[in-house]
Amino acid sequence: MDALLRNGFNGCIWAPGDEGYDTARLSWHRTIDPRPALVAEAADAWDVLAAVDSAREQGLPFAVQSTGHGTVAPADGALLLKTSRLSSVDIDPEHQVARVGAGARWDDVITAAARHGLAPLSGTGSVGVAGYTLGGGVGWLSRKYGFAADSLRRVELVTADARPVVASPTENPDLFWALRGGGGNFGVVTSLELRLYPVDRLWGGMAFYAIERAADTIAYYREWALAEPDEMTTALMLVRMPPDPAVPEPIRGKRVLAIRALYLGTLGDAEWVLEPLLDAAGPPLAGGFRPMSFPETATIAGPPPPSAAVRQHIDLFGHLPDDLIDTLLDSAVDGIEIRHWGGAMARTSPDSGPVGHRHVPFSVVAGARYGDPSDRDPVDSTMDTLVSRMSPYATGGTFLNFLTDTSRTPSAYTTEDYRRLLEVKRAWDPDNFFSHNHNIAAVSAVTR
């Protein structure tokens, strides 16, 4: 703490035993129970530099957290820097650009941009902009406009040797390339500049269907999705609904099929595109679709989930064979999402960042909540069985934002991109100061 204060840190500081330490140290992912040596909440960009300098001076490991949704490694014994107060949002409607602080959440950007008929390539509103974008970022408009990392124009950050630098297509272009999908391996971001996109008419929602229709619907979806226009974004889910009085009676406490969709365009076009898939699913039991504004897309998936201990797994698939569909339907996992990617995400340009596996059309993300965090065996056993049965059909690739297993970090990239990321890492952080993350330097050679 003395080193932080000596270096001019202006924000809040918590040490073990201080009131507020136990709240400040936790991430959204409660599967992780970190015990940092110190928690420091930056008040401005200078504090970020002071924190990096202080951790180096004291020989402490270093970790960064905004909302904690992307936390994958415990900051035990580290100086944990929180950037949540760096939450400024400035919209430039003329140039269709958002300039945001590292602690901004998507809710803030979405609301500010919507006043000008614009939208970011955002994720769930409660998620932090920085971690989501650095990890690639896939959202409702990504099939039309690409990954959030593709919309990044400029980054201000503090490097491992406590220097403030700028990364852009013309300033430190190697670093700029790595930041657009390489995660938090190269510095602490203090601000980002992102492209915004015009959004006029939207039509979307989520509807629930009988689980008995799931096999036929998924089989239909695997062909239908490959032809859906870039303006349409869809996913199918197999989900066990809670026995909560707030849940509509027809689906309360039941396992159901859900279809989630958003169309960027007119109501008539949207209905024409989606109708064959809805016909395959049969009569809806609850939910539905309607015209909406971009801020209203947050209602499609319901309110953001509270912090929880959750086991999550992602695999990518080139196709969805019948045996894989049977495997998903047989599983007792709480929730499974089948998502179609493609569109603008599948198209690359010479300056595309290292978001990997753009050509793969489907992902399956499975999640299960630990009912008793002290007894994880039942959930782990169920998930392990599902993962083992899915594995023969998977490509072996993953996507960084949905990945929680740090041993699989290289699988989020193509072999060529991973080698290049290692080179950038060695150039900008040769001592691996930024290591409490999906650490690229943790593997010295590509073995996939």
CATH number at residue 311: 3.40.462.20
Write out the residue range of the structural domain in which residue 400 sits: 202-406
Question: Based on the domain organization, do 359 and 273 belong to the same domain?
Answer: yes
State residue 327's pLDDT score: 98
State residue 1's pLDDT score: 66
Question: Based on the domain organization, do 217 and 294 belong to the same domain?
Answer: yes
285-305 burial: b if 16+ Cβ within 10 Å, else e: bbbebeebebeebbebeeeee
Question: Based on the domain organization, do 96 and 38 belong to the same domain?
Answer: no
8-state DSSP, 442: G
Question: Based on the domain organization, do 232 and 318 belong to the same domain?
Answer: yes
With bands split at pLDDT 50, 70 and 90, how would you rate the model's confidence at 428?
very high
Distance CA 202, CA 292 (A): 5
Residue-wise DSSP of 116-150: TTEE-S---TTSBHHHHHHT----TTHHHH--GGG
Please count the CA atoms within 13 angstroms of the CA of 244 that sit on its side-chain side: 5
Question: Based on the domain organization, do 233 and 379 belong to the same domain?
Answer: yes
Question: Based on the domain organization, do 258 and 179 belong to the same domain?
Answer: no
pTM of the full structure: 0.94
11 located within any domain = yes
25-59 burial: b if 16+ Cβ within 10 Å, else e: bbbbbbbbebebbbbbbbeebbbbbbbbbbbbeee
336 located within any domain = yes
State pLDDT tens for residues 13-67.
999 999 999 999 998 888 888 999 999 999 999 999 999 999 999 999 999 998 8
Question: Based on the domain organization, do 47 and 100 belong to the same domain?
Answer: no
Q: How many domains are contained in the chain?
A: 3
Distance CA 87, CA 148 (A): 18
Question: Based on the domain organization, do 121 and 250 belong to the same domain?
Answer: no
112 located within any domain = yes
126 located within any domain = yes
440 located within any domain = no
State pLDDT tens for residues 205-230.
999 999 999 999 999 999 999 999 99
